[in-house]
Amino acid sequence: MAAPKTRKPADTDDLFSIAASPKPAAKAGKPASTKAAKGDGTYSAKDIEVLEGLEPVRRRPGMYIGGTDEKALHHLFAEVLDNSMDEAVAGHANWIEVTFDEDGSLTVADNGRGIPVDPHPKFKNKSALEVILTTLHSGGKFGGKAYETSGGLHGVGVSVVNALSDRFEVEVARDQTLYTQSYVRGAPTGKLADKGRVHNRRGTRITFHPDPEIFGKGARFIPKRLYKMARSKAYLFGGVEIRWSCAASLIGDDTPQSEVLHFPGGLVDYLKASLQGYDTVTADAFTGKVSKAGSHGSVEWAISWFGGGDGFLHSYCNTVPTTEGGTHEAGLRAALVKGLKAYGDMVGNRKAGQIQADDVLGTAGAMLSVFIREPEFQGQTKEKLSSPEAQRLVEKAIGDHFDHWLTAAPLQANKLLDWVIDRADERLRRRQEKDVARKSATRKLRLPGKLADCSQSAADGSEIFIVEGDSAGGSAKQARDRASQAILPLRGKILNVASASGAKLAQNQQISDLIQALGVRTGSHYREADLRYDKVIIMTDADVDGAHIASLLITFFYRELPELIRQGHLYMAAPPLYKLTQGGKTLYARDDAHKDELLDKEFSGKGKVEVSRFKGLGEMMPAQLKETTMARGKRTLLRVVVPADEAKETGIAIERLMGGKPELRFQFIQEHAAFARDLDI
């Protein structure tokens, strides 16, 4: 339910960094000695470590796939699938097979041209296949000759998948001949093998198994996530058929065991499936495709406005999801806003001038896909498009079509314009209400006595930390920014609202204090303008007890203040569990895995590393709490979200885990006990 909000401290060391000891300054009047004593921390050429081949990937996987967590694990699949999709988009393949086997290995096959196997001009003793699989930044997508557009161009490439797999096997059917080669942790186990003639086969088949040394022994792909990734690719290119298959023993939900994914309608089909069950504002969706946009590019879109839910915008570049948005989304927003303003001006509606992008897209379901040559992204995992040309390309392509779409159906266009203006009026009303001084509103509130409020009057930029107990509350009050951060200590564990009666809920003092501090009313009486803080942050100990308290609080917000979550106000702090010290160097670890990683990578040389575990937030010094958990720019916050496509599943899960039927919890424990690890009891 939680999504990262602020970035973690960056790892600024590069591959050639070493831990150099500080040298004492030379005394005044005397030249510094050029003769080094033995063991005095000298720094010379022999100290420079050069990582060759795929060694850098295994040493620091985070630099290439963003970490070693579940998201990074599934990024391996995305890299291999992107290569097959590039073949399909280029017109060389029309089917892709994705097979998740019982042993945890994943196979991706296509009927494309097959990776070249002839000797590489620069590496006479290696095939092009081996060069691609063992050399970073190699492939046929950089010069623009083999592919006009590519999803794998900015990716870390299949070589990184090879490096991070304890087993990697490739089959290439090319020129009616089958070739195979196997690898272990990035190293070939033998030469490329010629398996003889195959007359009815072409393409590439890759089977890999993630290395538990990198991702942990319990790491495994999630069938539902793999299936959704494959399905989204099929939606993005109607010319490909993706054949999904998964071992039955690996499926524990409604994910299909096998399915042929083929959507000739592309994004139009995608949007229809996403908006199933919603009433739309206009009878027709705004859809279109421009195949020759710019010198080398294409734009496809599908947009519909609906009531009864939160809007969404799913964007892609060369079939790669851009979850952080980027320049192509900016082009879409600009085109829609300019188009509606121009139409409003044409029909004499003066209120159209106040329209902003959030008014247009706040209740819209939007799909956007662009194909451009040599796209530029921020970060190796390609989550934000930064190519300036994408904004111009999208704004021009969509803008022209949107103008025609509006003028061609005036009744529909007027209905949409009125709908968007209503959203703009509501936004302006909320802003005016929030601009009212909080201090004057505070006088009307009966605030709880334990609340240490902040001094600023505006809600924007202010935060309230909900902490467990007076001890943690005392440290937090000293560590906070008094101008913008408030602290509310709660005594013990709050009431489980999922299993409590309405009368018991109304009589609970802790929940009453929390609601009064926030300044809002619950359920359908909630008003965004009444919320006294921009961020509501749950800050509990980094242990099982703290996790239980956090789950109780999240359940309260989900049941009683769901709109607060939908508006993006609820967060969880991420305090460290360990402090690691060696000499003058101190680092903090969020969990056992992070501790082991820091011990292995950040502490070297002589000297004992002191590892101390924080039993609770109250045990931390205020300066430590501020540095690690509360200070903006240094902390990590997790935003609590309920994805629109998982709202039903979330409600069922909360009822099962937190509701009044213990037999449902017992059933859940029986089903998942085998997967539990790193228990902190």
Residues recognised as catalytic? 468, 541, 543, 545
Long-range contacts of residues 474-478, Cβ cutoff 8 Å, at least 24 apart: 474/618, 475/617, 475/618, 475/620, 475/621, 475/622, 475/625, 476/539, 476/617, 476/622, 476/625, 476/630, 477/452, 478/622
Q: What is the 3-state secondary structure (H, E, C) of 508-574?
A: CHHHHHHHHHHCCCCHHHCCHHHCCCCEEEEECCCCHHHHHHHHHHHHHHHHHCHHHHHCCCEEEEC
Residue 211 to residue 388: CA distance in whole angstroms: 38
Q: Are the C-beta atoms of 489 and 514 separated by less than 8 Å?
A: no
State CA 532 to chain mean position distance: 29
CA angle 602, 603, 609 (to 5 degrees): 135
> Which residues neighbour 420 within 8 Å (Cβ) at sequence distance 6 or greater?
305, 340, 355, 359, 360
| Paired sense of beta strands 535-539 and 570-573, if any | parallel
In DSSP terms, 535 is beta-bridged to 463
Distance CA 544, CA 617 (A): 14
SS3 670: helix
What would you report as the CA-atom Rg of the chain, rounded to the nearest whole angstrom? Answer: 28
Residue 3: how many other CB atoms lie within 10 Å: 13
Question: DSSP assignment, residue 306?
Answer: B
Using DSSP bridges, classify how beta strands 637-640 and 2-4 pair: parallel, antiparallel or unpaired.
antiparallel
- Given a contact cutoff of 8 angstroms between Cβ atoms, the answer to whether 329 and 387 are in contact is no
Instruction: Name residue 570's beta-bridge partners.
Output: 536
Whose tokens are 């529909």? That residue is 412
Q: Which helix (H) or strand (E) holds 502?
A: helix 502-507
Place of tokens 């919603």: 278
End-to-end Cα spacing for the chain: 23
* Residues 155/382, Cβ–Cβ less than 8 Å: yes
From residue 261, alpha-carbon distances to 78, 79, 264, 370 in Å are 17, 19, 10, 21
How many CB atoms are closer than 10 A to CB 98? 23
Asked if 338 contacts 355 with a C-beta cutoff of 8 angstroms, the reply is no
Using the structure block, give the residue that is written with the tokens 């609601």: 515
Q: Please state, in angstroms and as integers, the Cα–Cα distance from residue 577 to each residue in 23, 112, 425, 562, 609, following that order.
A: 33, 49, 47, 30, 16
Q: Describe the crossing of helices 410-434 and 388-408 by its angle, rounded to 10 degrees.
A: 120
Q: 667 Cβ partners below 8 Å, 6+ apart?
A: none
539 and 573 Cβ atoms separated by less than 8 Å: yes
Q: Characterize the bridge pairing of strands 364-372 and 297-305.
A: antiparallel
